[in-house]
Amino acid sequence: MVFGRSSHRPRPVDPVSLKILVAGGFGVGKTTLVGAVSEIRPLRTEEILSEAGRPVDDIAGVEEKTTTTVAMDFGRITLREDLVLYVFGTPGQDRFWFLWDELAQGALGAVVLADTRRLADSFAAVDYFERRGIPFTVAVNCFEGADRFPGETVRSALDLDPEVPLLMCDARDRESVKEVLVSVVEHAMNRAATRHAPAAT
């Protein structure tokens, strides 16, 4: 019998697949974020904004926007060989919020994408994830021409708990978006570890 280096190659690791939601107000950049980070051609369900929808769609501040997501955006990114994220962008308009419950099933965590010009539009998403106990990170999409505020100012305006991560990002930039997604995963994992930690005696 000859001893030496084994000829057996290690078995490939089956990647863990995690589901992440991206939510926020209408026109905040959710579709852009999913498209920037996805390694596959993202699935989009955008429709042209119609005159019929103007009475119910608040486009103040995003008057140049011509399309809207009516169901979801979907993309995929491999963060590591053993970790794949499936990213679902939620519709931002009030009339499509009934879809959020379906999309939220099985989600590890979420991104609340915010725009400092329309910060109040983020309240609904923050409230939604807080009520359901879904870990989330707030990512401020730094639009050109928008006022820049310190993170603590935004945190106070959104009344966020201290442990909720808050980052500045550019939804068009892949590396910036990856940083946000990593933050969500780490936050969710830390919360899960805290919950399952044995109580001190």
Q: What is the pLDDT of residues 172-193, one digit of tens each?
A: 999 999 999 999 999 999 999 9
pLDDT tens digits in sequence order for the chain, 201 residues long: 444 555 566 666 688 999 999 999 888 999 999 999 999 988 876 455 444 444 444 545 445 544 544 457 899 999 989 999 999 998 866 656 678 888 899 999 999 999 999 999 999 999 999 999 999 999 999 998 888 899 999 999 999 999 999 999 999 999 999 999 999 999 999 999 988 767 655
The percent of residues in the chain predicted with pLDDT above 70, rounded, is 74
- 3-state secondary structure at position 71: strand
What's the order of all strands across the beta sheet hosting 83-89?
A: 43-48, 67-80, 83-89, 16-24, 109-114, 136-141, 166-169
Which residue type, as a one-letter code, is found at position 157? Answer: A
Check: pTM over 0.75? Answer yes or no: yes
Q: DSSP secondary structure string, 59-70? A: -TT-TT--EEEE
Confirm if 140 and 165 have CB atoms less than 8 A apart.
no
Residue 142: what pLDDT?
94
Q: What is the mean pLDDT of the chain?
A: 83
Angle at 137 between CA 131 and CA 139, to 5 degrees: 125
Q: Which amino acid is at 160?
A: L
Name, in order, each residue with C-beta under 8 angstroms of 91's C-beta and a sequence gap of 6 or more.
Answer: 68, 69, 70, 71, 72, 97, 99
